[in-house]
Amino acid sequence: MKPDFEFERAAMAQGYTRIAGVDEVGRGPLAGPVTAAAVILDPAHIPEGLNDSKKLTKKARERLYDEIMEVAEVSIAHATVEEIDGINILRASHLAMMRALEGLKTPADYVLVDGNMLPRDLVLPAQTIIKGDSRSQSISAASIMAKICRDCVMLSLAQQHPGYGWETNMGYGSKRHIEALQELGVTPHHRRSFKPIHKML
């Protein structure tokens, strides 16, 4: 399965002109923010090779990031560790999505959201698409933008807190990360509401 522009064209057939694909990255990690992107593609200039960011090499993601930035409208936003712990990871993911949509220079008039649940504060016409990052080019573009930006955040945090391997595990619960937690302890960037961290505290 490769993403195409059919969901977007269906929305255009209903009269919508500014269709944003929205996706988030970072629901599973033990540390760091959750990051979302909203992308409005130009139908006349869709980058070649768009796909779910997890299916692309780092080199391909970085190439597509640059191409998307050149031809599309992009907004990227985060929800913090404090917000994740305060309202839960699902609601924090939706908060990041809403912030990304609100950050677009010109508002979207229709939204394609990866997954099976719309953010409850979303008032725009919208639809959810399960595995949307593999089916909709707008959502796959959003998944790439969110992935690249969150990885940059984790690389920066890895320099501030060496030893946890965030530069390679991006905050996920890898063996090295768990061992470092036991040796070095919990940082302010760890999600205290997540079981492994909660148990340590």
The domain spanning residue 129 has which CATH number? 3.30.420.10
> Residue 23 annotated as binding?
yes
- Per the annotation, does 4 bind a ligand? no
Residue 184 within any structural domain of the chain: no
Is 187 part of a structural domain of the chain? Answer: no
Q: What is the total count of domains within the chain?
A: 1
Taking residues 177-194, report their average pLDDT.
96
Strands 126-129 and 110-114: parallel
Q: Is residue 196 part of a domain?
A: no
pLDDT at 1: 78
108 within a domain of the structure (yes/no): yes
What is the structure's pLDDT at 168? 96
Whether 166 is in a domain gets the answer no
Distance CA 102, CA 95 (A): 10
Q: What is the pLDDT of residues 20-49, one digit of tens each?
A: 999 999 999 999 999 999 999 999 999 999
Q: Residue 142 pLDDT > 90, yes or no?
A: yes
pLDDT at 83: 98
28, part of any domain: yes
Write down the mean pLDDT value for the chain: 97
> Each residue of 83-118: pLDDT tens digit?
999 999 999 999 999 999 999 999 999 999 999 999
Q: Are 93 and 101 in contact (CB under 8 A)?
A: no
Flag whether 114 is in a domain. yes
> What pLDDT shows up at residue 201?
83
Q: Which pLDDT band, with edges at 50, 70 and 90, does 200 fall under?
A: confident
Residue 193 belongs to a domain: no
Domain of 87 in residue numbering reads as 6-151
Q: Which two tokens stand for residue 180?
A: 């470092």
pLDDT per residue as tens digits for the range 65-86: 999 999 999 999 999 999 999 9
Letter string b/e over residues 7-34, b meaning 16 or more CB atoms within 10 A of that residue's CB? bbeebeeeebebbbbbbbbbeebbbbbb
